[in-house]
């Protein structure tokens, strides 16, 4: 079945540092890929998405490129801020052979950014 593996945290960075959170996936079809962010005490918010190979999703300074050859969707940001402290989830949606838009999530990576 489908699965998502993302780097385990926690990740602690200083403000303005470069961020990479690795994500790789296994899927039977042609999935859409997502990064969701969960701020403390809140629900999940879609951060960015990519629906086909070589697409780059971007939002709020974050970027991720859909790499089919390496089955990866790594999240990057050039300069993190304290306000980026949150849990980040990589996820995929693969409807091959079905009608369920189910998201398969990684386990999440806690990011803490210190001033």
Partner 1 sequence: EAQVTQNPRYLITVTGKKLTVTCSQNMNHEYMSWYRQDPGLGLRQIYYSMNVEVTDKGDVPEGYKVSRKEKRNFPLILESPSPNQTSLYFCASSYRYEQYFGPGTRLTVT
Q: Is 53 helix (H, G, I), strand (E, B) or coil?
A: coil
The contacts of residue 43 (CB under 8 Å, 6+ apart) are none
Piece in contact with partner 1 (CB under 8 A), picked from 20-28, 59-67, 73-81, 105-113: 105-113
| Least Å from the CB of residue 28 to partner 1 | 15
Q: What is the distance between the alpha carbons of residues 3 and 26, in angstroms, rounded to a whole number?
A: 5
Q: Which of 16, 81, 102, 114 binds partner 1 (CB under 8 A)?
A: 102
Using rule CB under 8 A, residue 84 touches partner 1: no
Q: Give yes or no for residue 11 binding partner 1 (CB under 8 A).
A: no
Burial of 41 from C-beta contacts in 10 A (0-12 / 13-18 / 19+): exposed
**49 vs 74, which CB is nearer to partner 1?**
49
Of the residues 14, 30, 46, 83, which one makes contact with partner 1 according to CB under 8 A:
46
Contact in structure between 73 and 23 (CB atoms under 8 Å): yes
Q: How far is the CB of 51 from partner 1 (least distance, A)?
A: 7
């Amino acid at each position: 079945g489908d699965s998502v593996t993302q780097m385990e945290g926690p990740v602690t960075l200083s403000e303005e540092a470069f961020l990479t959170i690795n994500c790789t996936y296994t899927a039977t079809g042609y999935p859409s890929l997502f990064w969701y962010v969960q701020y403390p005490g809140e629900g999940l918010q879609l951060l960015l998405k990519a629906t086909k190979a070589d697409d780059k999703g971007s939002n709020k300074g974050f970027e991720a490129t859909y790499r089919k050859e390496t089955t990866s969707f790594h999240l990057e940001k050039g300069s993190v801020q304290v306000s980026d402290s949150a849990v980040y989830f990589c996820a995929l949606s693969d409807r091959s052979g079905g009608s369920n838009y189910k998201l398969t999530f990684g386990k999440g990576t806690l990011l803490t950014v210190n001033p």
